Chains A and B, each alone.
Chain A
Amino acid sequence: QFIAQYNRSRSPGRLGSAHQYKAFQESIQRQHALNSLPSDLLVEKGSATYGINQFSDLAPELFRATYLCSKPSELPKYKPFDSEVKRLH
């Protein structure tokens, strides 16, 4: 289903490589863990759900290296007064 839905047609009937297949299996385990909150955490209505999507055949390291490529900046804390003064200037 994953191969058909996400057009992974390199090797019909199987995930394209052993790495991808391993990553896919690990994704399923990881998603199960993400969906199972510890009992001490309040499980509120509307909580996020995790499961198979287009990134499920990527190893986490590859996902991070490919898609998570932005850096935060050291920014001043917002102070309403400062902003007003700047605007008046």
Chain B
Amino acid sequence: LPTRFDWRDKNVVTRVRNQGSCGGCWAFSVVEVIESAYAIKGKPLQTFSAQEVIDCSYKDGGCNGGSPVSALKWLNQTKTRLVTESMYPFKAKTGMCHHFPMSTFGISIKGYQAYSFRHKEEEMMHKLLEWGPLIAVVDAVSWQDYLGGIIQHHCSPEESNHAVVITGYDRTGDIPYWIVRNSWGSTWGIDGFVHIKMKRNVCGIADSVAAGFV
């Protein structure tokens, strides 16, 4: 494994988004890993519709919350095609599910994987390289006040409540850390990202991990 790896360096990560006052982090995380998986396959990097997942993943609660694994299961079972963000823009509120004609461009997933990597963050690094950016559900209560640096304390592995995307890791310094993309806009944290210490399941980063394949 390289000492540092970040999918952003391969130009397969779209811009940081802002979920606004909609509790749709779970949908953003799913759409963002699918965008990257599509780009890793050599296709053009483009933004797909988080609003479509918010409106249509019927077992989740739209802007009131949901589960990335539930959304991946729905995408895989129904083979729903994700359309582009421009076709189905983000409205920051739950709406009616729109359906598009088959002629409209969209992508469906071929499958997904979801595991707990607790005590196995080394394996998780391998999977980051093999599968692409990974969804993680973490405890982000203390992130309300986060400005920068590596989170090592002040969060719990037992109370996960927020879905994010791991795009890379860095082991070149004294403290190895995961590079984690959030959906609270680019003015939050480190240009929209947060760094979390590796190896001790800080914030529950390794407990609920998933990836989608196209």
Q: Which residue of B lies closest to A66 (CB)?
A: B21
**In the complex the two chains form, what is the Cα distance from A30 to B117 in whole Å?**
31
**Contact B117 A78, beta carbon cutoff 8 Å:** yes
**Contact A73 B67, beta carbon cutoff 8 Å:** yes
- Place the interface of chain B in its size category: 35 or more
Residues of A within 8 A of B87 (CB): none
Q: Which residue of A lies closest to B136 (CB)?
A: A72
Q: Which residue of B lies closest to A45 (CB)?
A: B174
Interface size on A, residues (CB 8 A): 37
**In the complex the two chains form, what is the Cα distance from A62 to B98 in whole Å?**
30
Main secondary structure on B side of the interface with A: mixed
**Contact A48 B150, beta carbon cutoff 8 Å:** yes
**In the complex the two chains form, what is the Cα distance from A27 to B188 in whole Å?**
16
**In the complex the two chains form, what is the Cα distance from A51 to B189 in whole Å?**
10
B14 at the interface (CB under 8 A from A): no
* B87 nearest CB across to chain A (Å): 25
Given contacts A45-B174, A45-B175, A80-B123, contact A71 B137 (CB under 8 A): yes
A12 at the interface (CB under 8 A from B): no
**Contact A77 B161, beta carbon cutoff 8 Å:** no
**Contact A75 B115, beta carbon cutoff 8 Å:** yes
| Residue from B67, B137, B146 within 8 A of A50 (CB atoms) | B146
Residues of B within 8 A of A58 (CB): 144
Residues of B within 8 A of A66 (CB): 21, 23
Residues of B within 8 A of A31 (CB): 145
**In the complex the two chains form, what is the Cα distance from A67 to B183 in whole Å?**
10
A16-57 residues with Cβ-Cβ distance < 8 A to B are: 27, 30-31, 34, 37, 41, 44-51, 53-56
Given contacts A60-B141, A69-B23, contact A49 B148 (CB under 8 A): yes
**Contact B174 A78, beta carbon cutoff 8 Å:** no
Q: Using a CB–CB distance below 8 Å, which chain A residues touch chain B?
A: 27, 30-31, 34, 37, 41, 44-51, 53-56, 58, 60, 63-73, 75-78, 80, 83
